Structure 1
């Protein structure tokens, strides 16, 4: 898309002052910028209207999440059984399949461990902290000092940054896995989303 077309497309989108928290009056051209708890400017607000694909994506996510939650509830009701979770030190913890999560196991050890765990590994595979365990397994709880935990953290952070860019600048995130040395997000503005 040509630069002029991008500028025209962006001019169609207006910043919603209500979301931003701005008010009339004051020395700053009639607008008072929103402040955060530290008294700093809250920055840019989301675009209004939001890009069309965001509603479509959110609708699809909501539908798939409801289906997933229903499946998890069904499995917890029908397939739950006692399982054994083996920790790296050899200790074995009792748990329930389709109900107990790695986070709950971490809380059972110590709240500090739970608070500092970034990701779990179940049978040597990366596993979300809130995903229920399914069977007898080995469990590792990885903190930020672990390279795999850092990779998960940076990958998740890239998704959050991508969402912010889409909502603030109206572009479409098309590529953006984080790399060891840098974070690269390719963004397309305009009709190519």
Structure 2
């Protein structure tokens, strides 16, 4: 990772604050404590009825355990296909993470990327790819350097790239890798190809580990304790709690990384297939320091892109995604315009390229 290659600076301030590893450990401790507390709310096994919906499943009824069984538990009562391909669920019509316990009798629909309308799942996948990128960035540098992850912008798949905004340690504000290497970014040199490849390798390692994204809905006080060392996350927790009808916020844990999410994530990192970090752009000075936007491109496990198509998609994903413009575009699109299995990424490619993007055999 980048931590092996950069940066011989030191800082007296860094010695006074917990290291990134210590912060991760504290966040995990609080997450696990709250997770155990919530599990203890169901001391006795109570049964619930789960009525399944979907192709070949209508009329199927499962008897599951209240507060313990998850949509993934239900999938395990079906077929290997449902276990391997389900990425998200609808519970009584509401998006539901696959690892989140069911708390009452309900209807359940398991969502896959092969569904006729995968719009909601595609959005969750893009959000998950951003979460994975944030996890990589947070561990990419030596422990002497902090990485402050900012809120992940909600960007549609049709933008061509997912994003993660961050503020790196002030010691890295002037970071400019070797001028002999090709760079990607605006407002100056910000990231070399080798650095991008290093970040990509970090993401691919997490994908290979097939880690679960564990959801945990918590009160703001718990989330504030989790992110007690992040000034930005403290404000984000308060904002999300005020916007939530229940006044709660959703945390996720992937390995030892705990994050705050603005929407549901897919079940596991192994659902990502082709994944590449394509650019790091400077957004200039912001309220929290020097803001940088790292971008990437990915396709889910069930889809494949021919290498020539992937190259075109990657070139597009290198260009800076401008959040405001994309938000306006997204809000003015017709409501019935959906993303069909990431085909929207191929807008602008020649028609004879489209057959190269096919479901994996």
Q: What is the match of residue 86 of structure 2? A: 117
2:98 aligned with 1:129, yes or no? yes
Residue 163 of structure 1, aligned match among 128, 131, 135: 135
Shift of 1:155: 1.1
Per-residue CA distance 1:42-65 (angstroms, 9 max, x = gap): xxxxxxxxx835532441232232
The two structures, once aligned, show a CA RMSD in angstroms of: 2.4
1:86 has 2:51 as partner: yes
TM-score relative to the length of structure 2 = 0.37
CA distance in 2, matches of 1:59, 1:159: 19
Deviation string, structure 1 residues 167-192 (Cα, Å, up to 9, x no partner): 21453221323511221222212245
| Contact kept? 1:176, 1:183, Cα under 8 Å | no
SS of 1:148's partner is helix
| 2:149 is the alignment partner of 1:173 | yes
Deviation sequence 1:56-109 (CA, Å, 0-9, x none): 24412322322222321x23323x311111111132221121122111111111
| In 1, Cα distance between equivalents of 2:151 and 2:99 | 27
Structure 1 residue runs of 4 or more that deviate by more than 4 Å after TM superposition: none
Other structure's SS at 1:149 match:
helix
Once the two structures are superposed, the pairs formed by residues 22-101 of structure 1 within 5 Å of their partners are 52-53=19-20, 55-72=22-39, 74-78=40-44, 80-88=45-53, 89-101=58-70
Distance 2:65 2:29 in 1: 27
Please say if residues 173 and 188 of structure 1, whose CA atoms lie closer than 8 Å, have aligned partners that are also in contact.
Answer: yes
Instruction: Give 5+ residue unaligned stretches, structure 2.
Output: 1-5, 11-17, 171-287, 290-361
State the distance in 1 between where 2:21 and 2:162 align.
Answer: 23
CA distance in 1, matches of 2:34, 2:67: 16
TM-score, with normalisation over the residues of structure 1?
0.66
Rg (Cα) greater in structure:
1
Q: Which of the pair has the greater relative contact order for Cα pairs under 8 Å at 6+ separation?
A: 2
**1:119-162 Cα distance to aligned partner (Å, 9 max, x none):** 11111222221222111101010112322122222212211111
Residue 152 (structure 1) aligned with residue 124 (structure 2)? yes
**Compared CA separation, residues 114 and 83, structure 1 to 2 (3 A):** same
Q: Aligned partners of 1:178, 1:165: CA distance in 2, in Å?
A: 18
SS in structure 2 opposite 1:188?
A: strand
Aligned residues: 146
Tell me, yes or no, if the aligned pair for 2:155 and 2:162 is still in contact at 8 Å: yes
The 2-side partners of 1:173 and 1:54 are apart by 15
State the distance in 2 between where 1:134 and 1:148 align.
Answer: 22
In 1, distance between residues paired with 2:134 and 2:27? 18
